[in-house]
Structure 1
């Protein structure tokens, strides 16, 4: 029988760009399991879970997760890692797609995996989305944000 840490390490293996097995990844979860992309406020449930992998891999097809620290604490496995890859696909945003830049990403991340009976019940991914965006050249537009707030204050 696999340990919780072994289940989590298998999940990372299945999500590598050179393996990418969404169905195998999904099979590691409980029936009602969830994958939470916390910084982007996205939750994938059940059979939506493979979409999280394929969506990211469509943008960064050579995605690799360098595991730095793995700590199994009962039914919780905490992992410090770096998500790495090359921006080779369109990056979706609410206002349109950022075209591929060919730039490399190296994003600090912390993941918490909650397991029940050696199945993943909840996966919470805390990636530094601001670092990823900066690395592909999509820095925030603070001037527009300041202008919008000032315009709203003036209108009120």
Structure 2
């Protein structure tokens, strides 16, 4: 049986833009395994898991994950990494799509992988979404947020 670290390293290989094997990635999970995109409050269950890969690769088709540190601690593998790529596809948001900018991203990330009997039961990705958005030119609209809060508190 492969070590937990080997399983996780294989998952990253399958998620690379030049490989992108969603079904192979899914096969590393238990039947009821989950993928949690923590910053975006998204959870993919079972056969939805490949959608997480294809959705991201549709925006950043050359996606690469540079693994900086991998720590296997029993049934948990903790990974520090950087998600890199080029913004070549539309980036979906609740108010519409951010058109491709061609900008490069280099996003600090920490991933936690939970395994049982050599298969992933839960994967939690904690990427710095604010860094990603800034790198593609989508900075926060603080003025609107302040005005909305002011209107709520003053009754305007």
Q: Under a length normalisation based on structure 2, what TM-score does the superposition of the two structures give?
A: 0.99
Separation in 2 of the partners of 1:151 and 1:95? 21
1:54 aligned residue: 54
Separation in 2 of the partners of 1:15 and 1:108? 17
Separation in 2 of the partners of 1:149 and 1:127? 27
1:97 aligned residue: 97
Hey, which bits of structure 1, 4+ residues long, moved more than 6 A? none
Superposed CA offset, 1:26-52 (max 9, x none): 000000000000011000000000000
1:87 aligned residue: 87
Cα shift at 1:154 = 1.8
Structure 2 residue ranges without an equivalent (≥5): none
Superposed CA offset, 1:110-133 (max 9, x none): 000000000000000000000000
Cα shift at 1:91 = 0.1
State the SS of the aligned residue for 1:148: helix
State the SS of the aligned residue for 1:140: coil
1:134 aligned residue: 134
Alignment of 1:153 with 2:153, yes or no, is yes
Superposed CA offset, 1:5-63 (max 9, x none): 00000000000000000000000000000000001100000000000000000000000
Separation in 2 of the partners of 1:46 and 1:155? 46
Aligned Cα RMSD in Å?
Answer: 0.7
Q: Under a length normalisation based on structure 1, what TM-score does the superposition of the two structures give?
A: 0.99
How many pairs does the alignment contain?
Answer: 156
Q: How does 1:2-151 map to 2 (within 5 A)?
A: 2-151=2-151
Separation in 2 of the partners of 1:64 and 1:113? 18
Cα shift at 1:73 = 0.2
